[in-house]
Structure 1
Amino acid sequence: MKRIAIGVGENENIIQACHIFKEKHPKTELRLVYSDEDLIKAAFDRNIDAVIRGSLSASNIIAKLKERYPHLSRATYINNGEQEFLLTPVGIDEGNTVEDKFRIALNCIDFLKQVEKTPKIAILAEGREDDFGRDSSVSNSIKDSRKLTKLLSENTDEDVKNYHILIEKAVQDKRNIIIAPNGRVGNIIFRTMVLLNSWPSYGAVTFGMDRVYIDTSRDQSIEGYLRSLVLAEELIED
């Protein structure tokens, strides 16, 4: 029997999602936990196959996980039936250097290959290419995007393209890995797409740890939490 632990905080949509999930997956055991401490314990418990943050707060949980897994990072999986991609970084303290984004991109590549998909990578920056020089922070972001594109092109065999600020073009081109300039920008993109415009998110796949851990927003809908449950079950090895 597969066992999934899931956190219950102030947003009780997660409870409704669990009820719906159990009707369709009666052989999967769900363990509802109500504190950060218990969810962290579940993440380290080898008798638990997968953990979903649910509607518990992220900061304390992620901090504790990073004590054991210092290179932890996340990528949100979005699939609306036509466009399917991993969006990363999405943690507000993640992806602040080219090296960080390079490591996260490699994790995304490995993940897509594990699920038998061909990676197509889009690199984003905080301005168009011809915006270079207008502002120091914009110029630095563009320089970083160039470095990351070059680094991935030289060290992988994947299809990599720098879209600068044109995320709409990257989505239209069906790029399935979208690398934001940093986690703060990635988090805003996630909230705009998923929480404001209702693009279907399955939660964030967590890399850098040898466990199935799905990170979710505290503000997610019943359907959003249900998708995260489905994703977690699919990622558990039989």
Structure 2
Amino acid sequence: MIQIGIGLAEPNEHLIHAVEGAAAEGTRVIVFAPRSMEPSPGITYRLSDSPESDLIDALMQGQIDGAVRGTLPANSTLRYLRDASGVDHLERIALLETVDGRKFLLTPVGIDEGSTIRSRINLVQSAKRLAEQIGMNRRVAILSGGRLGDLGRNPDVDRSLAEAELIARLTGGDHCEILIEDAVGEYGIIIAPDGISGNLIFRTLILLGSGTGHGAPVVNIDVPFVDTSRATESFGNAIRLAKNLIRRK
């Protein structure tokens, strides 16, 4: 049976319901939580003074097949994951779904990710591999800060347009300008101009636009780890995504 660990920083009924649902689907989920947590009946807990490091250590040592961050703090959890994986940065790609059912991969989504042309080119290649792995459309849309007709109005937009054109040529993607509303659905992979705008796209869709988040796999490490936002209610989606990645790995 596949075993997946998920982090729980404080009581969260959405997360507990997701764990119960996963069990009904044949997946064993272990909840990594602080010692102060009052365990819920019928759920396997692993309590410790540092659930972040305990979750990552269990993943790295093969005690669990995959992990989901759940509601653990992002900074400490991802920093420990980065150090334990031996990489100098983490690359995340979010699987999102609009309210009308259009799914797409979005990257960069971290405010410290995708700030250079090279990093976005690497993310394109990683996103193509992830799309193939989970059976999604591999067409790539490169977004920029405006339309081509806006050239000359703002130097930051001019630079964004030029970078998007270059990335599109080097990766085989299409520069879709600022028209994300046209790109989603036709393209399975959306490359934001930088991590700040990607994070804003994510938050706007999920927290204001009634969209759904399925989690954000970390794609430059060797173990299946799905990042989640503490604001999400869709932990079941992240568990299912982790299970899918484990099976296909």
8 Å contact kept, 1:83–1:174:
no
- SS for the counterpart of 1:237 is helix
8 Å contact kept, 1:202–1:231:
yes
Residue in 1 aligned with 2:22?
21
Computed over aligned residues only, the root mean square deviation of the Cα atoms, in angstroms, reads: 1.7
- SS for the counterpart of 2:115 is coil
8 Å contact kept, 1:11–1:218:
no
Q: Name the CA shift for 1:195/1:149 in 2 (closer, same or farther; >3 Å).
A: same
Residue in 1 aligned with 2:2?
2
8 Å contact kept, 1:76–1:202:
yes
Is structure 2 residue 191 aligned with structure 1 residue 190?
Answer: no
Deviation at 1:20, TM superposition (A): 2.4
Structural mapping, 1:84-233, within 5 Å: 84-153=103-172, 160-171=173-184, 173-221=185-233, 224-233=234-243
- In 1: Cα distance, 2:61 partner to 2:158 partner: 45
8 Å contact kept, 1:11–1:219:
no
8 Å contact kept, 1:84–1:174:
no
8 Å contact kept, 2:66–2:223:
yes
Deviation at 1:146, TM superposition (A): 1.1
Query: Which amino acid letter does the alignment assign opposite residue 205 of structure 2?
Result: M
8 Å contact kept, 2:52–2:76:
yes
Deviation at 1:71, TM superposition (A): 4.6
Query: Which amino acid letter does the alignment assign opposite residue 166 of structure 1?
Result: L
- SS for the counterpart of 2:63 is coil
Unmatched 5+ residue regions in structure 2?
34-50
Unmatched 5+ residue regions in structure 1?
154-159
Question: What's the CA shift string for 1:170-205, capped at 9, x where partnerless?
Answer: 01x521000000111101100111121121221112
8 Å contact kept, 1:7–1:55:
yes
Structural mapping, 1:44-59, within 5 Å: 44-59=60-75
8 Å contact kept, 2:164–2:175:
yes
Query: Which amino acid letter does the alignment assign opposite residue 16 of structure 1?
Result: H
8 Å contact kept, 1:74–1:204:
yes
- In 1: Cα distance, 2:9 partner to 2:208 partner: 21
Residue in 2 aligned with 1:65?
81
Q: How many residue pairs end up in the alignment?
A: 227
Residue in 2 aligned with 1:157?
none
Deviation at 1:11, TM superposition (A): 5.9
The alignment's TM-score, normalised by the length of structure 1, stands at 0.89
8 Å contact kept, 2:95–2:215:
yes
Question: What's the CA shift string for 1:59-92, capped at 9, x where partnerless?
Answer: 1222222232235201111235641210111011
Residue in 2 aligned with 1:78?
96
Report 1 or 2 for greater relative contact order, CA contacts < 8 Å, sequence distance ≥ 6: 1
193-202 or 161-170, larger mean C-alpha shift:
193-202
Question: What's the CA shift string for 1:80-105, capped at 9, x where partnerless?
Answer: 56412101110110000010011011
Question: What's the CA shift string for 1:138-166, capped at 9, x where partnerless?
Answer: 2221111111111102xxxxxx2111111
Deviation at 1:43, TM superposition (A): 3.3
Is structure 2 residue 243 aligned with structure 1 residue 236?
Answer: no
